[in-house]
Amino acid sequence: MKWYKTVALLGAVIVGGSFAVIFALGRLPDADRFRTSTEIDAPPAKVWAFLDDEQNMKKWVSWLEEIKRTGPHGPGSTLTITMKDANNGGQIMRFDSHCTEYVPGSLLSESMNAPEYGIDGTVSYRLTDLGNGRTRLETDSRFHFAQWFANLMTPLVMPAARNKMLGDIGHFKALVEKS
């Protein structure tokens, strides 16, 4: 009977310790942030034209089911983005994306939220002309999860989100370079 107590105590220590580590990792600076950078063999105008077009977004953003714009391109415009979350059993997620910064040819920043899931965030795309028909595309993303369990899982969710973004940016690069 004593070994039951030992196993139960050991299990509680392992589970409690795991939660403590995840909680601590989620409180590190920038735990809710990820960045990407890639160089594309195309001039900034070509990269921008592909980046700032909803029909092209459907070609390179994985999970994207539907996208609708309200208003002209630029600050204040809104996109309603519908995605099928492959990491969550194909659950449909809707994001409202509001353009906060817009410098044609170089910068696009958006605040994004999915109130139904308690997700708020920002995503920025910045282009830098490297000369010789090459462009650097940098992304900077930050997300906050209001639901306690999703917030606790930030150290696990954010690397998965970064991996998705890396895959999308890799696909974007290939499509732009091929076009």
Q: What residue ranges of the chain have pLDDT lower than 70?
A: 1, 7-28, 31, 152
- Is the domain of 145 the same as that of 123? yes
Instruction: Assign 62 to helix, strand or coil.
Output: coil
- Is the domain of 75 the same as that of 85? yes
Q: What is the Cα–Cα distance from 11 to 52, expressed in whole angstroms?
A: 51
| Count of the separate structural domains present in the chain | 2
101: tokens are 């910064």
Domain extent for 16: 1-29
The pLDDT assigned to 167 comes to 92
Q: Assign residue 17 a region: left if phi > 0, alpha if psi is -120 to 50, beta otherwise?
A: alpha
- Is the domain of 23 the same as that of 78? no
Is the distance from CB of 68 to CB of 79 less than 8 angstroms? yes
Q: What is the pTM of this model?
A: 0.83
- pLDDT digit string, tens, across residues 135-153: 999 999 998 888 877 776 7
Residue with tokens 């990792």: 25
Give the CATH number, domain containing residue 137.
3.30.530.20
